[in-house]
Structure 1
Amino acid sequence: MPFDLTDKLVIGISSRALFDLETENAIYEQQGVERYRQWQLEHEDAPLGFGTAGPLVKALLGLNALSPGRQLVEVVLMSRNSPDTGLRVFNSIEHHGLPITRAAFSGGKPIASYLHAFKVDLFLSRSEEDVQAGINAGIAAARLYAPPANPCHAQDQIRIAFDGDAVLFSHESEAIYKAQGLAAFEAHERAHRLEAMQEGPFARLLKLLAALQKQFPAERCPVRIAIVTARSSPAHARVVHTLRNWDVSVDEAFFLGGVSKHEVLAAFGAHIFFDDQTVHLDTAAPLVASGHVPWRQNTP
């Protein structure tokens, strides 16, 4: 019987985002593919520890147990490994008790062309090339930083934090700020405060997460969503009106006006934070799992 992915939140994840493969990646880059293959075969039965997205993936898959009779989340391993070298990854999946059964092993070729085939809603990878290709293909994708040294994620809920402009919303307003400065940005946002912003690369994911939240009683919802943005008054009003237009309610919002984001993210207990600016991610990544969202590139 065919398995339908269209009614689920589908996470595509690379093996290096799911597990700690930094030693193996260094061997690949410094000694070549054959030595990497040999290493993986020699350590095939040695379980890998979690990588940056491991705790998030485990928590998301746990939502299925909270919704008997309906699968809410599907995770697909999407790796540039060959099936041969990828066996260690599946052995590690089994070791950690993760219900991941579907995979794409591309044998060194770019993986992004398979994202639509697996109906992927969010793609997480350590590869800048694959993430950029995913964004260019219209899929929410983020390049993960290294795992946080001092993780602060909450234990009672899955908590996901998003930047606003160029992540949830289009980069139009941010482009005005970068080109013309703060005063022009605030004037533009005040003039258009009642107009919804165009969708950014993660808008659809936000809507899917909001729909997933509605599967649970509000007082016991296992997923909590926050917007953590450098916007402040009066530019905050357009965010509120945009979310109303999308019929989306977020649980928390922080309009920081230039205040550093990392302490707020740690206090929120984010399992993951998505931003387009490395200046914010560099300080957040030691505390919370963080993903860089590149701007979409025009492709021929």
Structure 2
Amino acid sequence: MEKLVVAISSRALFDLDESHNIFQQQGKEAFCRYQIEHENEILKPGFGFNLVKKFLNLNLLFPGEPLVEIILLSQNSADTGLRIFNSIEHYELDISRAAFTSGDSPYRYMPAFGAHLFLSANGEDVEKALASGYAAATIVCGSENVRSEQLRIAFDGDAVLFSDESERVYQQQGLDAFAEKERQDARKPLVGGPFKSFLAALHRIQAQCQQTPAPIRTALVTARSAPAHERVVRTLRAWDIRIDEAMFLGGRAKGPFLRAFGADIFFDDQQGHCQSAQQHKISAAHVPHGVASQKRP
């Protein structure tokens, strides 16, 4: 079975705020000197740390045949990256492959590693990855969800799982025009968005796992409501991709529903929805893709 490959930046995996501030305020040489001087000090977990642990725990289901691989993509140099690998070893994370790019955006190594997703703390890197057709998100907050060993991932619909074609109608012509267009196109599948291939990879793992409960549970959490729900349901059916739960909220705040679902991570193209997740202590990742993101930089 094809592995799910998730790439993550060092600043998304570990708390590197202190050294990043030194880089911004004092420059590259001071940053490099600081990292080398502190390379034996273990880094604290970052926003994406718990998510990575849950991904890697999936491999315990199939010893000898890993379902997931985590790749480190870092703008550090190999020299300054030694502290990162020391921390990986300390936390016993099964991460062995990495690309250190010494300041250049590392997303270009995604296809070489076969990565389905890139999680970063650098919004510019994420925008470049999305523009090149890769699933990518800026992780903006973390959580300590230990409620379940099950990996729970929630997605927004338009501009994330689906293209932003419908969102454009809403933004340009209003809610009534959007509702009428979706009613007319109810049997016309939506075009896939940047996270379609990532959801498909999760679905392949779900299809291979016979455990009860399943090790992965997915949810669609969208501002759509009836009758605009029908096109979404028929689109997923046309893709032959299962999603476990679907919430059509009609504009209600998403945070309480994400909390009830117990999401380990939520992907959305609008910062406001990510902030709603953060208020309910849910890890959120911003997907700066589509017309709504253009309106809300």
Amino acid of the residue matched to residue 141 of structure 2? Answer: A
CA contact (8 A) 2:141 2:282 kept: no
Deviations along 1:263-290, whole A, 9 cap, x unmatched? 1111111110000011111221241111
| Partner of residue 272, structure 1 | 265
RMSD: 1.4
Q: Does 1:36 align with 2:49?
A: no
Deviation at 1:219, TM superposition (A): 2.3
| Partner of residue 107, structure 2 | 112
Q: Does 1:253 align with 2:246?
A: yes
| Partner of residue 215, structure 2 | 222
Say how many residue pairs are matched.
290
What SS does the aligned partner of 2:93 have?
Answer: coil
Deviation at 1:170, TM superposition (A): 0.5
| Partner of residue 90, structure 2 | 95
Deviation at 1:188, TM superposition (A): 0.4
| Partner of residue 126, structure 1 | 121
The normalised TM-score by structure 2 is 0.94
Higher helix fraction: Structure 1 or Structure 2?
2
What SS does the aligned partner of 2:102 have?
Answer: coil
Match of 1:292 among 286, 289, 294: 286
**Using the alignment, how far apart are the partners of 2:103 and 2:241 within structure 1?**
39
The runs of 4+ residues in structure 1 deviating greater than 6 Å are none
What SS does the aligned partner of 2:87 have?
Answer: helix
CA contact (8 A) 1:9 1:121 kept: yes
CA contact (8 A) 1:153 1:266 kept: no
Deviation at 1:171, TM superposition (A): 0.2
Q: Does 1:199 align with 2:192?
A: yes
**Using the alignment, how far apart are the partners of 1:238 and 1:278 within structure 2?**
25
CA contact (8 A) 2:32 2:80 kept: yes
Q: Does 1:169 align with 2:159?
A: no
The more displaced of 116-125 and 38-47 is 38-47
**Using the alignment, how far apart are the partners of 2:18 and 2:120 within structure 1?**
16
| Partner of residue 178, structure 1 | 171
| Partner of residue 77, structure 1 | 72
The normalised TM-score by structure 1 is 0.93
The more displaced of 205-214 and 282-291 is 282-291
| Partner of residue 160, structure 1 | 153
Deviations along 1:39-64, whole A, 9 cap, x unmatched? 11121111111111111111111111
5+ long unaligned stretches in structure 2: none
**Using the alignment, how far apart are the partners of 1:124 and 1:257 within structure 2?**
28
| Partner of residue 3, structure 1 | none
Deviation at 1:248, TM superposition (A): 1.3
5+ long unaligned stretches in structure 1: 1-5
| Partner of residue 212, structure 1 | 205
What SS does the aligned partner of 1:117 have?
Answer: helix
| Partner of residue 60, structure 1 | 55
Deviations along 1:100-130, whole A, 9 cap, x unmatched? 0000000111112211111110000011111
Deviation at 1:147, TM superposition (A): 2.7
**Using the alignment, how far apart are the partners of 1:29 and 1:85 within structure 2?**
16
Q: Does 1:235 align with 2:228?
A: yes
